Amino acid sequence: MSRKWIAGIMAGLLAMAVLAGCGKSATDQQGGQSQQQSQQGSAEGEKKPFKAAMATDVGGINDQSFNASAWRGLQKLKEEIGAEVNYVESKRQEDYETNLATLADQGYNIVWGVGFLMTNAIGAVADQYPDTYFGLIDGEVQGKPNVVSVLFNEQEGSFLMGVFAAKTTKTGKVGFVGGMELPVIERFEAGFKAGVKAVNPNVQVITVYTGEFNDPEKGKAAALNIYGQGADVIFHASGKTGEGVIQAAKEQNKFAIGVDSDQNHLAPEHVISSMMKRVDVAVLTISKQAAEGNFPGGQTVVLGLKDNGVGWSDTTLWDKMPPDTKEVATKWAEAIKAGKVTVPSTRKELETWQVPEI
């Protein structure tokens, strides 16, 4: 008797947890289905809608950062070509492969893996589903005809953030908060430091890696540390951890620079700019190419400043920076776009990097 009860309760708990945890909004699916029906109605069942889906990394769909940006890209795709779109969230790294395979199994034409940490999972799943297109953001899988890899020149956008920070600082110290020490985050760091150096080589950059992308408190503690050592502007590349950085900026009345999406709304007076990484544009463009049958399979697409893949946000607070900041930043941006300046993308390159004349 009591055993059955236990089993019942545990099963119920787990079922609730799984239902609650899958976090997929029912309206999206319904929307997709009704769209499918209406499209089938109009095309008399000739053509099924294009189906696109993404698997987030552990940051989740609401990371106000690059997963959210990728999802915006898919929603735009739904608007523009009536595609059926969906997402799955990965709660832990072990889920990546399963989640990607599940989406491929459900017949999505293109499946996006968002994040460097998905690289191996995409490589493995792409072999199992040769008829599905896969897109990888921030990582590179080579030589598979059904995989496209998208990389960004984060160092170019981060360079401009370095220009802003070095221009804005009054104490001669600025900070950088990173999430995990991955090649992607190193590009942010190297670019940022190069930008600072380009404006004023005497400005010191205090660097802290928190080791986490989803721990706001660790971000806040790191930022308080950096501000405590006299810095007054911090650029973060650390996902949700960075929300703690922005909270610290607000409380200490210092400045922060956001990342990936426009993060100004988190502290409108204190986030002076955000390094926009247009994951949404990449996801939209390539998904559309796939829908039209022009999938750039096997390629690595690199988006930089000149492709508008990275850059500063619309809500950059020019009035918080010295008046010539925009002019200086634009000059550097033009030089980078023209290929006259190569921004270092690793710490090693940064060591030997000399500020070029422009």
CB of 122 to other proteins, least distance (A): 23
Binding flag, residue 67, other proteins (CB under 8 A): no
Alpha-carbon distance values, 104 to 51, 87, 122, 291 (Å): 10, 12, 11, 16
**Does 208 participate in binding other proteins (rule CB under 8 A)?**
yes
Cβ closer to other proteins: 78 or 218?
A: 218
230 touches other proteins by CB under 8 A: no
Stretch that binds other proteins, among 109-117, 123-131, 240-248, 285-293 (CB under 8 A): 240-248
The C-alpha atoms of residue 274 and residue 261 are separated, in whole angstroms, by 7
Binding flag, residue 220, other proteins (CB under 8 A): yes
Q: Which two tokens stand for residue 89?
A: 């969230």
Q: Report, in Å, the least distance between residue 244 CB and other proteins.
A: 6
Neighbours of 76 (CB within 10 A): 19
- Could you say which of 244, 304, 309, 311 contacts other proteins (CB under 8 A)? 244
Rg (Cα) of the chain, in Å, rounded?
Answer: 22
Three-state SS string over 241-290 comes to: HHHHHHHHHHHHCCEEEEEECCCHHHCCCCEEEEEEECHHHHHHHHHHHH
Site size toward other proteins (CB under 8 A) is 52
Max CA pair span of the chain: 82
| Residue whose CB is less far from other proteins, 54 or 110 | 54
In the complex with other proteins, the residue whose CB is nearer, 204 or 289, is 204
Interaction between residue 10 and other proteins (CB under 8 A) = yes
End-to-end CA distance of the chain: 81
Site for other proteins in 268-327 (CB under 8 A): none
DSSP 201-228: TT-EEEEEE-S-SS-HHHHHHHHHHHHH
CB-neighbour burial class of residue 320 (10 A; exposed 0-12, middle 13-18, buried 19+): middle
Kindly give the residue spans of alpha helices, DSSP state H, lying in the chain: 2-21, 26-42, 66-81, 95-105, 119-128, 154-168, 183-199, 216-228, 241-252, 279-291, 325-337, 347-352
Residues 18-57, one symbol each (x = binds other proteins by CB under 8 A, - = not), give xxxxxx-x--------------------------------
- Of the ranges 17-25, 153-161, 273-281, 297-305, which one interacts with other proteins (CB under 8 A)? 17-25
Show contacts with other proteins in window 80-119 (CB under 8 A). Answer: 91
Minimal distance in Å, beta carbon 154 to other proteins?
20
Applying CB under 8 A, does 348 fall inside the site for other proteins? Answer: no
CA–CA dist 187, 177 (Å, integer): 13
Candidate residues 138, 243, 260, 280; the one interacting with other proteins per rule CB under 8 A: 243
Nearer to other proteins (CB atom), residue 156 or residue 215? 215
Residues contributing to the site for other proteins (CB under 8 A): 2, 5-6, 9-10, 13-14, 16-23, 25, 60-62, 64, 68, 91, 175, 180-181, 206-212, 214-218, 220-222, 224-226, 228-229, 240, 243-244, 247, 250, 266-267
